[in-house]
A and B are shown apart, each in its own frame.
Chain A
Amino acid sequence: MDQLSSNLLLQIALCAYCAGVVGSLLAMRRERIANLVGFGCSTVAAVSGIGAALLALTVEAAPGAAPFELWPSLIPYLQLKIKLDPLGAFFLLIVSVLGLALSLYSFGYVRGFYGRKNVGVLAAFYNALLLATTLVFTAANAFFFLIAWEIMALTAYCLVSFEHEKTETRNAGVLFFIMSHIGTGCLILGFLLLFQAAGGQSPGDYSFDTFRALGATMSPGRRDAAFLLFLFGFGVKAGIVPLHIWLPEAHPVAPSNVSALLSGVIIKTGIYGLTRVLFDFMGTPPNWWGVTVLTIGTISAVLGVLYALMEHDLKRLLAYHSIENIGIILMGLGAALMFLHTNHPVLAALALIAGLYHTINHAVFKALLFLGAGAVLHATHTRDMEKMGGLIKRMPKTAFFFLIGAVAISALPPLNGFVSEWLTYQSLLQGFGTTDSLVRLMFPLSGAMLALTGALAAACFVKAFGITFLAQPRSEQAAQAHEVSPTMLLGMGLLTGACVFLGLFPTTFLALLGPLTQQLIGQPLPAYLVQADGWVLGSAKAMGGTVSTLGIALMGICLLPIPLVLWLFFGRRTRVRIGPTWDCGLRGLTPQMEYTATGFSKPIRMIFKALFRPRREVQREYDYSPYFAKTLRFESHIEEAFVTRLYRPLNRTILRLSRRMRALQAGSIQAYLIYIFITLLLLLLFAL
Chain B
Amino acid sequence: MNTLFSIILQTVLLLALSPLISGCIKNWKAKLQNRRGPRVWQPYFDLVKFLRKDMVISEHASWIFRAMPYVLFTSTLLAGLMMPLVNVSAPLSLFGGVLAFVGLLALGRFFLALGGLDAASAFGGMGSSREMTIAAVAEPALMLAIFTVAITAGSTNLSQMLLAAQGPTWKLLNPAHVLAFAALFIVLLAETGRLPVDNPATHLELTMIHEAMILEYSGRYLALIEWSASVKQLVLMALLVNVFFPVGIATDVSATALGLGLLWFVLKLLALAGAVVLVETSNAKLRLFRVPDLLSAAFILATLALLSTFLFQ
Contacts and interface: CB of A to CB of B under 8 A. Distances in A.
Interface stretch (A101-109, A177-185, A411-419, A644-652): A411-419
Interface residues of A, number: 87
A422 B219 CA distance: 37
A548 interface: yes
Interface in B73-126: 73-75, 77-78, 81, 92, 94-100, 102-104, 106-107, 109-110, 113-114, 117-126
Contacts of A463: 129, 132
Interface stretch (A1-9, A340-348, A441-449, A612-620): A441-449
Interface residues on B, range: 35 or more
B175 interface: no
A472 B61 CA distance: 9
A459 B133 contact: yes
Interface in A366-402: 390, 392-393
A167 interface: no
Contacts of B302: 448
B95 A593 contact: no
Interface in B104-159: 104, 106-107, 109-110, 113-114, 117-126, 128-130, 132-133, 135-144, 147-148, 150-151, 154-157
B299 interface: yes
B64 to A, nearest CB: 6
A546 B95 contact: yes
Given A466-B118, A470-B114, A579 B56 contact: yes
Contact of A594 (B77, B125, B306): B125
Given A390-B60, A545-B156, A451 B142 contact: yes
A547 interface: yes
5 contacts: A429-B150, A447-B143, A462-B113, A548-B95, A581-B121
A481 to B, nearest CB: 14
Contacts of A174: none
B94 A425 contact: no
Contact of B57 (A410, A579, A594): A579
The winner among B51, B60, B98, B104 for most chain A CB atoms within 10 A is: B60
Nearest to A606: B289
B110 A580 contact: no
Given A459-B135, A607-B137, A545 B56 contact: no
Interface stretch (A117-125, A273-281, A515-523, A561-569): A561-569
B160 A543 contact: yes
Please name the 10 residue pairs, one residue from A and one from B, whose CB atoms are nearest each other, closest first. A595-B125, A545-B156, A466-B117, A459-B132, A451-B143, A455-B139, A471-B120, A570-B51, A551-B95, A455-B136
Contacts of A555: 7, 78, 81, 92, 95
A69 B20 CA distance: 74
B283 to A, nearest CB: 21
B299 A448 contact: yes
A601 B114 CA distance: 14
A375 B109 CA distance: 27
A548 B143 contact: no
Given A470-B64, A544-B155, A595 B147 contact: no
Contact of A471 (B119, B155, B215): B119
B62 interface: yes
Interface string B199-217: 0000000000000000110
Nearest to B136: A455
B57 A576 contact: yes
Contact of A570 (B48, B54, B147): B48
Given A548-B96, A570-B51, A602-B129, A579 B59 contact: yes
A571 B147 CA distance: 43
Nearest to A432: B151
A545 B160 contact: yes
Given A410-B110, A471-B119, A551 B142 contact: no
Contact of A413 (B96, B114, B215, B223): B96
A595 B220 contact: no
B64 A392 contact: yes
B59 A578 contact: yes
Contact of A455 (B98, B135, B151, B289): B135
A600 interface: yes
Contacts of B97: 545-547
A545 B99 contact: yes
B99 to A, nearest CB: 5
A546 B62 contact: no
